[in-house]
Structure 1
Amino acid sequence: MGDTIKLGIILLIITSIAAVILGFSNSITADKIVEAEAMVSEEARREVLTADKFEKADVQLDDERIHDVYKGLSDSGEIMGYAITTATSGYGGNVEIITGISVEGKITGIKVVKHQETPGLGANAQNQEFRDRFKDKSTEKELVIVKSAPKNPDEVQAITGATITSNAVKSGVNLAIELFNTKLAK
């Protein structure tokens, strides 16, 4: 019985030391992780919208699926468009995308920044070929996912075998379109 207590105390000491070390490591790296995520988001905004700088937009977000909105500005301060981050439900979890929309009301690009979709299927939402299907679409109407070649300007062809993921991306883009039309378009 005494050996069991002795081993329990040793195990308690070892795990306590490990917990302190992990907590200390987390406190040291937390700021660097936030910085790295901010850099990735900035890079994604630059991919979806051509602008010299980005500034967080002062807009009321009424939908929890819309995470943030940035204005894309020229060097002279002229608004070039908006980069809107949304997260909607996909097959494996939330699909977070950034949608670029020009002040003229055209989608300038999309970028999937986080997802938990199936490799080889839903994960193909990150592929340039799929992302380009949204480019230059108008914000006048909501987009619709179709399984065959699009026949109308508001249609986007789904990823083969990943309709749920395709619909998640479309829903995120449509949230950005709705926000643009109701609160950002002039």
Structure 2
Amino acid sequence: MKETIKLGLILFIITAVSAGVLAISNNLTKDKIAEIAMAGSIEALKEVFGEENDFKALDEGRLDEIKKVNESTEEIFEVYSGESLSGYAIKISSKGFGKTNLITLTGFSLDGNIIGMRLVEHSETEGIGSKATLPDFTDRFQGKNASEEITVDTISGATITSKGVMSGVNEARKVFNEQLSN
């Protein structure tokens, strides 16, 4: 009995030390991880809206209100041309092939036209579902208007991924229409 308690205590100490080390390393790296994620978002924003624009994350309080209504919303950015608000970029999570996460970033002008779309995160099959990142597919969304459901031709062999991306774009359209457009 004493041996069992001794082994349990040793196991508890090892587990507690391991958890402490993990907590410390998480605390040390979380800011860097957030910085890398933001840099990826900024790069995608520049691809969609162009280098000459400035991007500002939507006010945290307002973003939280939107997330309560639409849980798939990841981030929203205001896009500025000089001092003037010129549009919004909305990051949405949707499901792809095998229920994997797809993160799309859709840019809207203030009049509701899609400026561009990028699939910024995915784990789709290389050479099949990953084709959704190529301009041949992403450019199909450009110029579509947010006033109606957005559909484009799917990628042959990657129908589920294509529909997942369209779902993300349409969720972004919904957020734009219901929460951001005036």
Q: Could you tell me the TM-score, scaled by structure 1's length?
A: 0.78
- Matched-pair contact (CA < 8 Å) for 1:49–1:82: no
**What residue in structure 2 maps to residue 44 of structure 1?**
44
- 1:27/1:54 CA distance change after superposition, 3 Å: closer
**What residue in structure 2 maps to residue 69 of structure 1?**
76
Candidates 87, 90, 96, aligned match of 2:93: 87
RMSD: 2.8
SS of match in other structure, 2:82: coil
Q: Distance in 1 between matches of 2:21 and 2:168?
A: 40
Q: Distance in 2 between matches of 1:17 and 1:68?
A: 35
Task: Give aligned pairs, total.
Answer: 173
Residue 125 of structure 2 aligns with an amino acid whose one-letter code is: T
Aligned residue runs from structure 1 range 23-34, under 5 A: 24-34=24-34
**What residue in structure 1 maps to residue 148 of structure 2?**
141
- 1:14/1:64 CA distance change after superposition, 3 Å: closer
**What residue in structure 2 maps to residue 132 of structure 1?**
139
How far has the Cα of 1:19 moved from its partner?
7.0
How far has the Cα of 1:75 moved from its partner?
2.2
Q: Distance in 2 between matches of 1:16 and 1:185?
A: 50
Residue 41 of structure 2 aligns with an amino acid whose one-letter code is: S
Give the structure with higher Rg (CA): 1
Residue 177 of structure 2 aligns with an amino acid whose one-letter code is: N
2:55 corresponds to 1:53: yes
2:174 corresponds to 1:172: no
- Matched-pair contact (CA < 8 Å) for 1:96–1:113: yes
Candidates 111, 114, 119, aligned match of 2:118: 111
- 1:112/1:20 CA distance change after superposition, 3 Å: same
- Matched-pair contact (CA < 8 Å) for 1:105–1:140: yes
Q: Could you tell me the TM-score, scaled by structure 2's length?
A: 0.79
SS of match in other structure, 2:142: coil
How far has the Cα of 1:18 moved from its partner?
7.4
Candidates 86, 89, 100, aligned match of 2:107: 100
Identical pairs, percent:
39
Q: For structure 1, which runs of at least 5 residues remain unmatched after alignment?
A: 1-7, 145-155
**What residue in structure 2 maps to residue 4 of structure 1?**
none
- 1:100/1:15 CA distance change after superposition, 3 Å: same
Q: Distance in 1 between matches of 2:39 and 2:18?
A: 31
Q: Distance in 1 between matches of 2:136 and 2:79?
A: 24
Instruction: Name the stretch that deviates more: 78-87 or 36-45.
Output: 36-45
- Matched-pair contact (CA < 8 Å) for 1:53–1:74: no
How far has the Cα of 1:25 moved from its partner?
4.0
